[in-house]
Structures are given as C-alpha cells and as structure tokens.
Amino acid sequence: MANFLEAVLGQYNNWAFIILLMIGIYAMIAKNNLLKKVIGMAIFQSAIILFYVSVSLKKGATIPIIAHGHGHDHGAVAHAIDAASYANPLPHVLMLTAIVVGVATLGVALAIVQKVNRVYGTIEEDEILEKIKE
Amino acid sequence: MEVNSWVLWQFDVLILLMVVVCAVVALQLKDLVSSAITFGAYSFFMCILWTEMLAVDVAFTEAAVGAGVSTILFLGTALHVKRRAKD
C-alpha cells in the first residue's frame, strides 16, 4: 500500500500536467465568454510545455550549462563531460519555440475576439448566436 | 519521492498547487481585468516552476513573453470589451 501510494503521489508533475490539461480543455469547451476560452487555450499550451520539461529532468542533475566551457586551451574542453549530470536541453529548446508560437497564436486569437466585439457588440457566445440568427 | 534533487519536493508541490489555483481563479473570476491579472500571476508561477525544473532558458522566455507580453495583450483586450463576464 505504501509502495503504491508512493508510486502514485511520486509523479506529482504528471498529475499537475493532467489537471491543467483538463482545466484548459474544460474552459475551451464550456465557458461562455470568448476571453475565458482564450485563457483556457493558454493554460492548455503551458500544460503541454510542463509535460515536456518534466521529461527532461534527471535525478541529481544540474542546469545544462557547462562550467568553464570556454577554456584557454583553444576551444578543446579539457575535462570529460558527464552527460548524466546535466538536464536534457533538447526538450527545453523545443518548448522555447512552443512558447513563442503560443504567444503568436494568442495575439491572433485576441485580435479575432476584438473583431467579434466590434461587429456584434459582445463577446458572450450565446448573445453572438442570437445576433447571428436575427 | 523526489523528482528533482536540488529543491525540496515540498516546494515543488507548493508551486504546482499555486499554478493550479491561479488557473482555476483566472477562469472563475467575473471581472475580465482581474482575470487577466490572475493569468499573469499564473505565468509567473510557471516561470518559477521552470527555474526549479532546471530549464532556465524556458524560464526567462516565459517571464518576458508569458508574464509580460501576453498579460498586456489580455489587458488590452479586456479593456476594449465589456468588462463583466457572465460566467
């Protein structure tokens, strides 16, 4: 029982990832206000980023920057590098791109929300649907 | 029990809880401007989370772009539309 509890609770990063993912998708589907839907989309994105950064973690590792990487011995690194003592930097770089793309999609979504507000005078979904029917 | 060795796992869990709380509060608030500000707090807690998960490059990008630019974009939109939300 204790082993099971530790196995379930020990992966708290994954549980937080699942909870944030569900919060985001709930907001995108069930919220009535368009701005709340966009906030849900941003939460969904950062939940995915949380999952990828969790993958890059290692036990007993440090940040992926090599100390004294720029030595005086003409570029060659004098000491051997132990890859297991650094966090994996590949998911970090991928998620860096994802953050920038996420802000671009956020800007487009908010521009569309403002355009909807200018045309229909409201950003509540039910009121917009009523005005489309008229 | 620990995912990361140089910070306490209690601190890890505290930051994750704050992230989830900020996400829920940002979605439940009726006032859109305070919703946008709470989303900025959410991005800032995410930035702290990246730092202690050893992703420093992701952390400062999130601080500049997530907590900075997207909060301003949300605020600009929230001030243009009707400020009270129904839900």
String of DSSP letters for A10-27: TTHHHHHHHHHHHHHHHH
pLDDT at A78: 58
- B50: contact with A, CB 8 A cutoff: yes
Nearest CB to A40 within list B27, B57, B85: B27
Is a pLDDT exceeding 90 seen at residue A70? Answer: no
CA atoms of A134 and A127, how far apart (whole Å) = 11
Residues 83-112 of A with CB under 8 A from B: 87, 89, 91-93, 95-96, 99-100, 103, 106-107, 110
Considering only alpha carbons, which residue of chain B is nearest residue A37?
A: B27
pLDDT-derived band at A77, boundaries 50, 70, 90 = low
Question: B32-52 and A34-55 helices cross at what angle (nearest 10)?
Answer: 0
Map out the domains of chain A as residue ranges.
Answer: 2-59+79-133
Kindly provide the ipTM of the predicted complex, given to two decimals.
0.90
- In chain A, pLDDT over 90 holds for what percent of residues? 63
Contacts of B43 in chain A (CB under 8 A): 46
Residue A121's Cβ-side half-sphere holds a number of Cα atoms within 13 Å equal to 4
Instruction: Determine the average pLDDT of the residues in A56-80.
Output: 71
- A64: contact with B, CB 8 A cutoff: yes
CA atoms of A67 and A46, how far apart (whole Å) = 30
**A85 three-class SS:** helix
What is the per-residue pLDDT across A4-51, written as a single tens digit (0 to 9) for each? 878 777 788 899 999 999 999 999 999 999 999 999 999 999 999 999
Is a pLDDT exceeding 90 seen at residue A115? Answer: yes
Query: What is the mean pLDDT for each group of 10 consecutive residues in chain B (87 residues)?
Result: 61 92 95 95 94 91 91 94 88
Least confident of A73-77, A103-107, B38-42, B58-62: A73-77
Residue A26's Cβ-side half-sphere holds a number of Cα atoms within 13 Å equal to 10
Rounded to a whole number of angstroms, the distance from the CA of B31 to the nearest CA of chain A is: 11
Cross-chain Cβ contact B65/A32 below 8 Å:
no
**Best CATH choice for the domain A2-59+79-133 from the list 1.10.287.3510, 1.20.1740.10, 1.10.1370.40, 3.40.50.720:** 1.10.287.3510
**A107 three-class SS:** helix
Instruction: Determine the average pLDDT of the residues in A112-134.
Output: 93
Cross-chain Cβ contact B61/A99 below 8 Å:
yes
**A76 three-class SS:** coil
pLDDT-derived band at A134, boundaries 50, 70, 90 = confident
| A125's tokens | 């979904």
* pLDDT higher at A75 or B11: B11
- B85: contact with A, CB 8 A cutoff: yes
CA atoms of B41 and B27, how far apart (whole Å) = 13
The string of DSSP letters for chain B reads --S-SSS-HHHHHHHHHHHHHHHHHHHH-SBHHHHHHHHHHHHHHHHHHHHHTT-HHHHHHIIIIIIIIIHHHHHHHHHHS-SB---
pLDDT at A86: 87
* pLDDT higher at A48 or A64: A48
CA atoms of B87 and B31, how far apart (whole Å) = 10
Considering only alpha carbons, which residue of chain B is nearest residue A123?
A: B81
Residues 6+ apart with CB under 8 A from A42: A24, A102, A106, B39, B70
